[in-house]
Every structure is written in C-alpha cells, then in structure tokens.
Copies of this chain bind each other. A is one copy, B any other.
Amino acid sequence: MTTIKDIARLSGYSIGTVSRVINNHPDVSEAARIKVEQIIREQNFQPNSNAKQLKQQSNSAVTIIVKGYENMFFEGILERVQAILRDSGEDVAVAFLDEYSNEVQAAIQLCTSRKPKGFIFLGGNLEFFKQEGMKIDVPCVLLTNTAGELNLENLSSYSTNDEEAGYQVIDYLIRHGHSEIGIIGGSASRIGSQIGFRRMKGCLDAFAAHGIEFDEKLQYEPSRFSMAGGYESVKKLLKKNPKITAVFAIGDTIAIGAMRAIKDMGFEIPKDISIIGYDGIESGRYTIPRLSTIHQDTEILARKGVEDLLLRINYHHPVAHEDIPFTLIEGESVASPSNQ
C-alpha cells in the first residue's frame, strides 16, 4: 500500500511537507506543491483516513440520523444528503431510529464510540435537544424542524415555515368550501417541540381567521409518520366524525395511507372526502388521484444542510436557522364538498 512515506521518498520532500500539501496548508512553496501533487496523482495515493482521524481525534464519518422508518420524505432527503456529502469527499454513516426514540441520546452515545465529525438529523424533537443537546460535542444540523428558539451553539436548522404552511393549507381548504376539516399526524402531546405542533398552530390560526371553530377532540387524530399510521388514524377520525369533508395529513406518507383507508371506507377522493398532504414526495405525484400537498424543496434542504455543516466543521462558522421556501401543489385530491 502506498503511504505518505512513499510519497515523501518519491517526491524528495519530507513527510511533513507532503502532509501540508495534502491539507492545503499555505506555508508550502509552489515548487513543492506541484511536485508532491504530481507524485500523488501518479501513485493514485489516498491518505489513510484512520491515521488522519486518530490524530485529529475524530472519525471521518458525518452521521445522518433518520427519525422514523418508512418515512418516504426522509428517504428522499437522505439520498441527496449522502450524495452531496460524498461529492465533498466526506464519508457518510447512517442510523435509522424509531420515530419516538431519543435521537439526542443516540447521538451522544455515538460521539463517544464513533467520534463523528458532525450530525445531520432528519427530523428531531426539540425537547430532547433542549434537555441535553449541548452534550453533543460536534456540529449538528436539524433538517425539517426549526431549532432557532433553542439557541444552541452546536445546532443549525433548516425547514419550511411550518406554521405559515399549515395556515395556507387550511385557508386553501376553507376557500374550497370546507368547514368540517380533519387533521391527522403527529403526537397528541402539546409540547410544542414536535413538528406536528407547529403545523397545527398555523392551522388553528387559519380557522380563527375565518371564524371557523375547530374541535380538537372531534377533528384531530394523532398518527405515526407511516402509511399504516395514516390508514388507521383517518379511519378513526372519520368514524368518530362523519361530517368531515376534508383531511389534512401532516406528511405525504401519512396521506397516502389515509387515501387507501378512505377508499376502503367506500368514499371517493376528492368527491366525498378531500385530502391534502405535506412534503411533496415523489410518490404523491403518482397516486390516483394525484396528491395535493405542500412541497418542500428536498434539494435545497439537503444542500443548505450539508453546506452549513461543512462550514462549521472546517471553518467554525456560526450556526444558522433558515426557512426554506415551500409551495402548495394542487393535485387532484381536493375539491369542493359535494353537498354545497
């Protein structure tokens, strides 16, 4: 195997100088840089990352923590994040966690055993970060949830403005003539740290703005972020409240499960029941009928998240919290209620 020693010997420079060239140190002569780079290319030399990391006291891998299995939206982001990271020469480790597990504790443990350079969280509960987020001693980025109010020195976040989007969804449904609107998804707890809560908050504002009442008991049903979750929760919801004419599923994965349940209950979408999702996943463009939804830009989310993390790992940039744009996509799953 070719090591830095070989490159040193072959180039006529010392190991130290070769190392400096590899790491783009400024204090290297042009001549040395050119010569060393040439030899590296000739030998197709790859520095041993274990040795490098041993010195630098960190593992090369950026770890992506995905909260929830079979959440298709996260799968899409994961693919992009991984690809961008790889193009930047970074190693990528992945850990899938249950939707309800403590991702911060998992990260803390990984810090001592694997020493990753940084974390990207796909989904996260702010409550966990508030409790012991600072125990994670490497840069973190939270995607699809806002952590601005936590003000942690090691946590950036990028997400759509969930509140604003929630508002637009309900406003959109109301403008289509719906007044008995159901909402599914998220956990029932009112901690305010869950993504579902922020979307819900926007919904409530929209109901209030239109002077329409919203009875959580009769119009809300919690659900896991899965198709099975959506299937069960919408069934419960429509059974306990047959007056509902439109459903907002706070994730497309949930919405797709719900569509199937609505169909199984004998209703037509959107004639009998309208449904709108959130995320804008690829699958939603192929459902029958096509799913109306709030589209989050996966590409921007992934790119901003990785860029932020790398700048903080390599150049100690400060944390940032940014909204990324969203658009309401009109599919075929929303219509005016037929009894109008």
Contacts and interface: CB of A to CB of B under 8 A. Distances in A.
Contact of A61 (B93, B115, B231): B93
A82 interface: yes
Given A48-B115, A50-B54, A54-B48, A95 B70 contact: no
A227 B227 CA distance: 18
A310 interface: no
Contacts of A83: 96
A168 interface: no
Contacts of A257: 286
A91 interface: yes
A4 to B, nearest CB: 13
B96 A93 contact: no
B70 A59 contact: no
A106 to B, nearest CB: 10
Contacts of A115: 48-50
Contacts of A91: 61, 93, 114
Interface in A209-249: 227, 231
A112 B44 CA distance: 10
Given A259-B286, A260-B286, A59 B50 contact: yes
A290 B231 CA distance: 14
A76 interface: yes
A287 interface: yes
A257 B75 CA distance: 18
Interface string A254-281: 0011011001000000000000000000
Contact of A49 (B1, B59, B263): B59
17 contacts: A1-B112, A46-B112, A49-B113, A49-B115, A51-B54, A61-B91, A69-B79, A72-B72, A72-B283, A75-B75, A82-B96, A92-B95, A93-B94, A227-B283, A231-B286, A256-B283, A283-B283
Interface of A: 1, 44, 46, 48-51, 53-54, 59-61, 69-70, 72, 75-76, 79, 82-83, 86, 91-96, 112-115, 227, 231, 256-257, 259-260, 263, 282-283, 285-288, 290
Given A50-B115, A75-B75, 9 more contacts: A49-B115, A50-B53, A54-B54, A82-B96, A91-B114, A92-B93, A227-B285, A256-B286, A257-B286
